[in-house]
């Protein structure tokens, strides 16, 4: 007959066997030291890194896609400090260099005094789910564009922009994720039309639209004609650094086009002024105020001499 004193150890080994036989990857972090107390051996099969290589939260943070790292770390730390259980989706770096979509579900454990003692959670591989979601988003986006497309440039029109931004804003509020917006204006476009004619001006607008589509390439990125010679790019789940990179990419791609513009005070080529804004909106934040801020930055870019980017 089994001695009762042996039961806890036996139970512990049973629990460990059960945890390590699931596809979910269990882990535990000591809050005071920020060190991994445990991570399941399944992590090596999923990401290529051995369990022994997961020493601290620094290993977790650095093995994350740069576009996700900032907001995920800030969000998880803030929630953990507040003692709030939470979850986050992000792209984790595989040892061979590609990325795997992960969902981290985190429970905040407290001691008898109510202080945060440890973080305990599970990592789930959600790569296939994300692929399906991205396909659905891409299909929905394509269908919507047929109904809400700008007739000249082929990108979304202002009506579609208003609908998309409103939905994206509410998603960002609900999920507490960053949202970035770029407002872009073709410099001295009236002079371009005066010099080259309106037909050539229409061709210029079409080429600009293609440039912007080529700069914002994720399935969830959204490009629209805001009106006249103004365009807008909406970047869900995008932090300030990533948004600035996309704005810079817009300038770089347009420069490659080498569209001549003799009436441009900023250059002999067609150029863009860009205002950039990022927000992780709370329920009391105003979408109108946020757009007003981005528009003000676009105005500042114009005022400073055009062909430039103004962000925070």
Q: Among the options 229, 237, 248, 257, which is catalytic?
A: 229
CA 188 to chain centre: 32
What integer pLDDT is reported at residue 145 of this predicted model?
Answer: 61
* Residue closest to 88 by CA, chosen among 78, 96, 241: 78
34: left (phi > 0), else alpha (psi -120 to 50), else beta? left
Residue 128 burial (CB count, 10 A): 9
CATH 3.30.70.270 correct for 148-311: yes
Burial of 282 (0-12, 13-18, 19+ CB in 10 A): exposed
pLDDT of 114 > 60? The answer is yes
What integer pLDDT is reported at residue 2 of this predicted model?
Answer: 47
Burial of 136 (0-12, 13-18, 19+ CB in 10 A): exposed
101 HSE (CA, 13 A, CB side):
10
pLDDT tens digits along 63-85: 999 999 999 999 999 999 999 99
Contact 308, 272 (CB under 8 A): no
Q: What is the residue extent of each domain of the chain?
A: 12-131, 148-311
Query: Element (H or E) spanning 213, and its range?
Result: helix 198-215
What integer pLDDT is reported at residue 138 of this predicted model?
Answer: 85
pLDDT tens digits along 5-47: 445 555 666 556 655 656 799 999 999 999 999 999 999 999 9
Burial of 191 (0-12, 13-18, 19+ CB in 10 A): middle
* Residue closest to 124 by CA, chosen among 88, 98, 94: 88
- Residue written as token pair 């202002």: 158
Q: By three-state DSSP, how is residue 119 classified?
A: strand
DSSP lists the bridge partners of residue 208 as none
Q: Which DSSP state fits 85? A: -
CA distance 236 to 190: 32
CATH number of 12-131: 3.30.450.20
* Residue closest to 208 by CA, chosen among 251, 243, 238: 251
Residue 223 burial (CB count, 10 A): 25
pLDDT band at 4 (very low <50, low <70, confident <90, very high): very low
Pick the more confident residue, 262 or 285: 285
What integer pLDDT is reported at residue 16 of this predicted model?
Answer: 61
Angle between helices 240-257 and 66-81 (to 10 degrees): 160
Instruction: Name the percent of the chain lying above pLDDT 70.
Output: 92
pLDDT tens digits along 225-258: 998 999 999 999 999 999 999 999 999 999 999 9
* Residue closest to 181 by CA, chosen among 133, 216, 219, 155: 216
pLDDT band at 151 (very low <50, low <70, confident <90, very high): confident
Concerning whether 117 is annotated as a catalytic residue, the answer is no
pLDDT of 166 > 90? The answer is yes
What integer pLDDT is reported at residue 139 of this predicted model?
Answer: 81
Please, what sign has the CA dihedral across residues 116, 41, 132, 62? Answer: positive
């Amino acid at each position: 007959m089994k001695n009762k004193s042996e039961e806890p150890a036996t139970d512990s080994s049973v629990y460990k066997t059960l945890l390590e036989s699931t596809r979910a990857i269990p882990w535990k972090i000591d809050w005071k030291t920020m060190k991994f107390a445990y991570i399941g051996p399944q992590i090596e099969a999923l990401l290529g890194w051995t369990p022994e290589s997961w020493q601290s939260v620094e290993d977790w943070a650095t093995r994350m896609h740069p576009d996700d790292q900032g907001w995920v770390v800030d969000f998880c730390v803030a929630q953990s400090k507040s003692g709030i259980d939470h979850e986050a989706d992000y792209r984790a770096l595989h040892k061979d260099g590609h990325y795997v979509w992960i969902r981290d579900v985190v429970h905040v454990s407290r001691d008898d005094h109510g202080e945060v003692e440890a973080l305990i959670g599970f990592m789930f591989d959600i790569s296939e789910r994300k692929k399906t979601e991205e396909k659905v988003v891409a299909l929905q986006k394509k269908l919507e564009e047929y109904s809400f497309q700008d007739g000249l440039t082929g990108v979304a029109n202002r009506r579609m922009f208003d609908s998309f931004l409103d939905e994206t804003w509410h998603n960002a509020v609900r999920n507490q994720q960053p949202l970035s917006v770029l407002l872009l204006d073709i410099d001295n476009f009236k002079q371009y039309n005066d010099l080259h004619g309106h037909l050539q001006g229409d061709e210029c607008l079409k080429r600009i639209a293609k440039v912007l589509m080529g700069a914002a390439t994720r399935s969830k990125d959204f490009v629209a004609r805001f009106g006249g010679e103004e365009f807008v790019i909406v970047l869900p789940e995008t932090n300030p650094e990533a948004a600035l990179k996309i704005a810079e990419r817009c300038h770089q791609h347009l420069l490659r086009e080498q569209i001549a513009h003799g009436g441009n005070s900023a250059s002999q080529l067609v150029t863009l002024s860009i205002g950039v804004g990022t927000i992780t909106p709370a329920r009391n934040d105003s979408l109108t105020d946020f757009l007003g801020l981005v528009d003000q930055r676009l105005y500042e870019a114009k005022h400073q001499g055009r062909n430039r980017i103004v962000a925070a």
